[in-house]
Amino acid sequence: MSSKQNFPVPQSILKALALPLDPSKSSFSSRGFGAGFAKAGRIRALVPSKDGQQEVENNFFIKTSPHGENAKEMFRGEFASLNAIADAVPELCPRALAWGKLEDENEEEEVEEARSDVRTAWFLVTEFLDLSGYGRKVGTSLARRLGKLHSTPAPAAPSSLSSDVVNLREGKGDDNDDDDDDGGGGRPQFGFPVPTFCGDVKQPNEFRRSWADFFAEQRLMTVLAECEKRNGKDKELRGLVERTAAEVVPNLLGDGHLGFDKSGNGQGITPVVVHGDLWSGNASKGTIMRSSSSTAFENDDEAGVGDVVYDPSACYAHSEFELGIMQMFGGFGADFYREYHRIVPKTEPADEYADRVLLYELYHQLNHTTIFGGSYRSSAVGTMQKLLRKYGNK
């Protein structure tokens, strides 16, 4: 086990969080935990209490990564993802507070050496999520919170998108007018304002009015291209993905079909925010430690221990897209699904529900094929063959 290390908090982070610049008022600690792409740690900072009579400690979670533009895009996507979820269901995940580039000058030599691996890194700071002592098993409160998320319509697609937004909640960034038919429009669409990453695979998230078009283009065909880029051309895999996108997706998810029962009654589907990478390792019981500058919970009950999620890869999607990776790795029992579907009924045609979830699982099978190869490719091939036998064009 790596020993705990304490460092001064870089000035760029203190400024981003509007914390006191006095280095004695804050510290950054890390045990070297976190994914291979990023390191994670905890910031403790003393700030004036609301009445100004004393100092109170605020805690923050921080990720840093030295991986240049990839880190920038990844943290930007996670910042937007966390806040999209928190805007709809504040108690479901920590809110992202700041992200940016570590830009500090005149640091003492020993501190610079100690943090040499993050000297030019990008950072992401969120509210601190205390998971200690609660265990990872989630309960039905996750079903209720996820049901609330998936019952909340996504916001309208932005009419202008910035390439370098730092605070998406406040809409800061350069204007980039886009009158393309697939952007803006003042109504919810399928996509997301910024790219996100599932694992280390980039998801462009360009807006589409059609869910079938988005899923085929922005998920299946995009992950296929990345898979071939990393692992080489694969004629069999490409042929199956192309057929699935051209035949299965329209027949299962097509406009005028998805959201309508066998008698033609229905209203189609409405985009909602999904986590996007909700396997059981990205959910747990915990407490979100709201800082003095954060948006408060609506009531005290929400501030206690509850089921929470993290490390999202969000987009505005069909709610059942969330269930693909949940099915792939398991960990969510019958009680969870019973409570969830009490809030979010299965989309019509309900008798195609299992096949839709399998189609959504396929994306994650392909994504894992891209990253890990091996048995995931066999699973993806088997899934596509099964779906094509049932929904392929005869």
Read off the pLDDT of residues 307-335 as tens digits, 9 standing for 90 and up. 999 999 999 999 999 999 999 999 999 99
Rounded CA-CA distance 215/205 in Å is 10
Confidence class for position 52, pLDDT limits 50, 70, 90: confident
Residue 189 CA, chain-centre distance (Å), reads: 17
Query: Which residue has 């969330």 as its token pair?
Result: 322
Nearest CA-CA partner of 312 in 222, 203, 224: 203
Which ranges in the chain are annotated with CATH 3.90.1200.10? 146-277+313-391
Residue 148 makes CB contacts below 8 A (sequence gap 6+) with: 88, 89, 92, 343
Which residues in the chain are classed under CATH 3.30.200.20? 5-130
Query: Of the candidates 158, 190, 196, which has an alpha carbon nearest to the alpha carbon of residue 174?
Result: 158
Q: Is the CATH code 3.90.1200.10 the one for domain 146-277+313-391? A: yes
What is this structure's pTM?
0.86
Mean pLDDT (whole number) for 345-352: 98
Q: What are phi and psi of 5, to 5 degrees?
A: -125, 140
Per-residue pLDDT, averaged over 223-246, amounts to: 98
Highest mean pLDDT among 79-88, 119-128, 136-145, 156-165: 79-88
- The CATH number of 5-130 is 3.30.200.20
User: Per-residue confidence at 5, pLDDT binned at 50, 70, 90?
Assistant: low
> C-alpha 377: how far from its chain's center?
24
How confident is the model over 6-33, as pLDDT tens digits?
788 989 999 999 999 998 999 988 765 4
Residues recognised as catalytic: 277
